[in-house]
Structure 1
């Protein structure tokens, strides 16, 4: 377990008073809080009317900093990282095996993005490992929904997080529910599994109804996380509190190997850095993107490791502008860690 800053400070005070044994101080520099606040505040101004939330934790010392850290943001596919951890916890408990085969039925399909739905019915059988890699690595919605159903549904994922004392992260709906709800569509049906069919159904929803649905989605506490909640999850995942060493290694490797979000956090960290991360993106409609997110664990070239969570909601920037906001936060974080 890591020693928190508060404990470290108490230990140093005891040492100064001549009692207690000397404690080893953190080997990494303290965060430059003033610089982080100044730079991230400026980035947040550029993002307006979108709202920016940022969390940063030194995984060696436990020191944290956040911007809008207590605010809830829609996760979108960021939830697939906690989902992946919950699935692997079932593997650790012996209730599920990575080589178990799951056969899909038409009612198991979910909205795009889902290469697995695109491949149906030509392919129906997948192992748990394949579904885990598709959900957390490719962000496949069908894979995520099938795995979530297998372990008891959204409520089971949230209950597992609560049981592990991961607060301020909640999973409430399957992707096949959340995605249509967030844009004012009717309940998902398998006939909409292709991007073309899904967009045709979306375009049949009146613009005013879509705007109203997005506004409701942005204020809905369901399927949200705070930046500090995301940090808590990443910290416990990294520290081995959630999973066995083998399962932890597998999940972090999938999150490192993903090719999603190349222009977000990954673009802002320096050469030689490694990032195990999960992105989340809502569909842009009528010029508004409800969510553009990226959370993960970055290992710098010198071995220092940090948990980072960035959420951007309600953005009116174009795709390149949204991605640059997250990349610029990573650059500010790089300067802020020294």
Structure 2
């Protein structure tokens, strides 16, 4: 009789499959798989431990100590937090200024970026030129853009006030006036919105045209299409822009520090920082600037660590609330 080759091959494949499954179930094989996975993840895990976990734990520990980088840390319990919440003369001012940047600058920047992205998405002629034009300011280094804006809005010699004076309008003091210093930085934030604008543009161009056509056939006007078609499709991008914007605003430092230094006549941020940060009249004193002053100008590292821990907690709470809020607008959240 001629042996059935097909049956023999099937038996061999089944035997091989059983052997492979047995090998997968052996402890040694599973251990090798885990070790290989850990080896591939080692660089990322090591970086996370060194640059995030260790600094976070160290900051929490130092926040309960008196530490000046020279003497060993001295345990003082909750005194740093007691001073932070009850006695610090400027932490409330810094927190209010930071809240202004979070609640005003972030939404305004997102709204303008979304409007410009919407216009560029509908542009037909020279669309590449306009996209490049609106994106280019985002490539300017923050320090250079702030210095340029301070000189442009100089109340005496700046071209902005000269143009306003030509039309018979008395321009404000801009960065030298506590009432106008934050709105001046808001104008700067709008000017450098190209990074968020280009992301919104990509999201808008990715919205299926068929959905707009279906909504139009159903009688939806422009506002209804924006609400029921555009926003649901770009919700993840809106969440990304909002989260990153709020985190950046909570850590707002460079632009405010450079603007205070240049407007006060001290263009160098470093020596004498504690004297000119927040100029004019502490209107640009942000939370992270005050943290910098207490930690690296007055060498109160323990108290600065308490400020940093509070900032981390506030950022984490805001992030959780945002994620929970946006989850309600997703199909999974609605279910």
Check whether TM > 0.5.
no
Q: Which entry has the higher C-alpha Rg, 1 or 2?
A: 2
The TM-score with structure 1 as length reference comes to: 0.28
Higher strand proportion (structure 1 or 2): 1
The TM-score with structure 2 as length reference comes to: 0.28
Higher helix proportion (structure 1 or 2): 2
